[in-house]
Structure 1
């Protein structure tokens, strides 16, 4: 199977156009074992509509269940939902959200010891944490992401836009065991 021929699944379960740069939607589609080894990834296209937060939570649940990472589902759902909601509300113009295609991409990447959640959007503007009033209805998304993740940040995406990502620690059975330190001769 060639990478260029992969067809990703959208978060709502329908097929989408191929991911940019010939990436495939799910490493399990390439014959990798679903539950072992580093480097598992899954991605889906999002059309920029408000229901993308719900669709992204469904995608997280489905993917983490396939990867046998059920303990991560609640925190990952919340982190991804906040990342996607911020992208829909702050990174898209109304015309971009109404256009055909997938202006947003959600990716989950399993690495040794941690899970990376990433959302790419077309806006070059960096995320801006806010300090909302105690009665404010919004403005706490990045604070929630910061509280639930080990780290989070963003980087520009070429040729335009940015990717915001957060890492969550894997449950202990999936974490690599530390190597013992070599003993010094006495």
Structure 2
């Protein structure tokens, strides 16, 4: 059996810093795993606002293939908002990716380097509700920066659909 991450971390720290007492030593270990190909779906999208509806339809078909029709409404909303934001505020290629694991993760990659900002729009504001809606309808969301752009992701629980 593989040793626990705690035990592995202690072994590495003991080897690198053999003298006690040691202070201000930080070590991060992460165990990763490969996802099965049938649990990941992705599409490259042109930066064309007219194709946002096609991205929603493609997402719905994939959710149906995974037996997650109950998540279609929320996931369509998430996809629509993230893809629209990428088209409006970023540059370069756009990629939509869905990951099915313990949760459903929706990711949109774009070539932009600016961080998204969650706004709390007034009822009279015409825009600025995208991330606010995503925050309301998903468990959590965030941004991951890459050398060639960023990924904005949103995570939905599967417990309601599997229960």
TM above 0.5, yes or no, is: yes
167, 170, 180: which one aligns with 2:155: 167
Separation in structure 2 between the aligned mates of residue 84 and residue 90 of structure 1, nearest angstrom? 10
Q: Unpaired runs of 5+ in structure 1?
A: 1-25, 29-39, 97-102, 176-186
For 1:109, what is the secondary structure of its paired residue? Answer: strand
Match of 1:65 in 2: 64
- Find the residue that maps to 1:51 and give its secondary structure: helix
Which protein shows a greater Rg? Answer: 2
After TM superposition, what 4+ stretches of structure 1 lie above 3 angstroms from structure 2?
171-175
- Structure ranking higher in helix proportion: 2
Matched, 1:48 2:54: no
1:104 equivalenced with 2:94 (yes/no) = yes
Number of positions where the alignment pairs a residue of Structure 1 with one of Structure 2: 128
Q: Distance in 1 between matches of 2:161 and 2:127?
A: 36
Scaled by the length of structure 2, the TM-score of the pair is 0.73
Structure 2: gaps of 5 or more residues: 1-35
What is the aligned partner in structure 1 of residue 127 from structure 2? 138
> Alignment partner of 2:49: what SS?
coil
| Aligned mates of 2:145, 2:53 — CA distance in 1 | 26
Structure-2 residue corresponding to 1:99: none
